[in-house]
Structure 1
Amino acid sequence: MTYWLIPIQEDMWDVILTQGVYGYKSNLKDYIKVGDKLIIYVSKYYAKIYGGKIVGVVRVTSDWYVDETPVFPEETVRNKGFYIYRVKVEPEITGVCDIKAILDKIHFIEDTAQMAKYLRNAPANLKRPIPDDDGHTIEKCLKGEL
Structure 2
Amino acid sequence: MTFWLVPIQEDMWDNIQYDGVYGYKSNLSKYIKQGDDLIFYVSKYYATRYGGKIVGIGKVVSEWYYDDTPLYPEEKVRNRALFPHRVKVEVWITGACDVKSLIGKVKFVEDVVQLPKYLRNAPANLGRPIPDFDAKIIEECLRQTMYD
State the TM-score, normalizing by the size of structure 2. 0.96
Structure 1: 5+ residue stretches without partners:
none
Instruction: Output the aligned Cα RMSD.
Output: 0.8
Aligned to 2:78: 78
Tell me the equivalent position of 1:2.
Answer: 2
Distance in 1, Cα, partners of 2:54 & 2:16: 14
The residue correspondences of 1:25-44 to structure 2 (distance < 5 A) are 25-44=25-44
CA distance in 1, matches of 2:122, 2:102: 21
TM superposition shift of 1:82 = 1.2
Counterpart-to-counterpart distance in 1, 2:97 and 2:61? 24
Partner amino acid for 1:45?
A: Y
1:143 aligns with 2:138: no
Deviations 1:87-137 (A, max 9, x none): 000011000101111111100000000000000000000000000000011
Shift of 1:79: 0.9
Q: Equivalent residue for 2:102?
A: 102
Letter of the 1:70 partner, please give it: P
Match of 2:115 in 1: 115
C-alpha displacement of 1:11: 0.3
- Code of the residue aligned with 1:26 in structure 2: it is S
- Corresponding residue for 2:64? 64
1:92 aligns with 2:92: yes
- Please give the secondary structure, in 2, of the residue aligned with 1:95: strand
Distance 2:22 2:57 in 1: 12
1:82 partner amino acid:
L
- Identity level (%): 63
Dislocated runs of 4+, deviation >6 Å: none
Q: What residue in structure 2 maps to residue 17 of structure 1?
A: 17
Q: Which amino acid aligns with 2:107?
A: H
* C-alpha separation in 2, matches of 1:58 and 1:93: 7
Please give the alpha-carbon distance, in whole angstroms, between the structure 2 residues aligned to 1:48 and 1:71.
Answer: 21
Q: Report the TM-score, using the length of structure 1 for normalisation.
A: 0.98
What is the SS of the residue equivalent to 2:89? Answer: strand
**Partners in 2 of 1:60 and 1:132 — Cα distance?**
16
